[in-house]
Amino acid sequence: MSENDNECNYLDAMVGLHLGDCLEIMPLIPDKSIDIILTDPPYGISDNIRITRGKNKMKFKGSDINYNFGDWDIFRSWDNLYNFTVKWIDLSISKIKDDGVFITFFDRKKIGHIIDYLENIGFRFRNMIFFCKSNPVPQARKINWQSSVEVGIIMTRGKAHYNYIRGQHKEYWTIPICSGNERTPHPTQKPLKIFSDLVEWWSFDDDTVLDPFMGSGTTGVACKNLNRRFIGIEKDEKYFEIAKRRIENHKPQENLF
């Protein structure tokens, strides 16, 4: 491969949406060229459980619940998941600028391991973030506390890259699970409101945002609304096509909320 071919690959990787494995595509992105990583990666919360609610005699009725989100979220062990996570984190943070921001959701029982890892390589812990679901899925097999909170972290490197002009913001959002026109077939889709706030408060106009696990394209839609450059990578062709259509067809709104 010639130097010109390498240059073309770099330029291609810095533009738009990419179908493929982020572990193969991220090396094409120039180091220290990204302002913010914002993503919701696989973190092994799938289970081979399907709860049938439509034909049972239990209190809660509704659509069946399938906890197997796909092969992309199944790991043989914690070691397997941890090694995968460290690998994509190492690749992605090499692309962040010296004053860059790293934001990710993760398993609430294991997110402390990710905080420790990032702090040990020079990142500063800034905030936990909490998606508090106002309409969590009911417990169907027994009466118990509902799983209604998902967590993430905000970490920074170097000087603060916080958009102070936006003022303060709470660490949590209490909003419903995606529904209606916003809902896509992606099983772990996060609300646009959360990702829009994260983009708006932790980046600036014309900054470049990278999402290595684009899913159904929520980060991309937020960036389109807020005048940020977006690089999205998605391995699953079905979700890539959903994200592509969703981002391309979305019309930016002057006052989103």
The upper half-sphere exposure of residue 110, i.e. CA atoms within 13 Å in the direction of its Cβ, equals 15
Q: Please answer whether residues 8 and 28 qualify as being in contact, where contact means their C-beta atoms are separated by less than 8 angstroms.
A: no
**CATH dotted code for 18-249:** 3.40.50.150
Around Cβ 6, how many Cβ atoms within 10 Å?
A: 11
pLDDT at 167 over 80: yes
pLDDT of residue 240: 95
* DSSP per-residue codes, 163-221: -GGG----SEEEEPPP-GGG--S-TTPPPHHHHHHHHHHH--TT-EEEESS-TTSHHHH
H or E element in which residue 28 lies: none
256 vs 215, residue with greater confidence: 215
Q: Convert the pLDDT of each residue in 68-109 to its tens digit.
A: 555 655 657 889 999 999 999 999 999 999 999 999 999 999
pLDDT at 15 over 60: no
Mean of pLDDT values over 129-145:
80
Category of 83 on φ-ψ map: left (φ > 0), alpha (ψ -120 to 50) or beta: alpha
Residue 136: pLDDT band (50, 70, 90) is confident
Q: Convert the pLDDT of each residue in 210-248 to its tens digit.
A: 999 999 999 999 999 999 999 999 999 999 999 999 998
Distance CA 27, CA 24 (A): 6
For the record, the structure tokens of 215 come out as: 């899913």
179 vs 31, residue with greater confidence: 31
pLDDT of residue 256: 38
Mean of pLDDT values over 187-200:
93
For the record, the structure tokens of 251 come out as: 């019309």
Q: Which of 129-133, 170-174, 252-256 is predicted least confidently?
A: 252-256
Q: Convert the pLDDT of each residue in 34-73 to its tens digit.
A: 999 999 999 765 455 555 555 555 555 555 555 555 565 5
pLDDT at 116 over 60: yes
The closest alpha carbon to 132, from 108, 110, 161, 154, belongs to 108
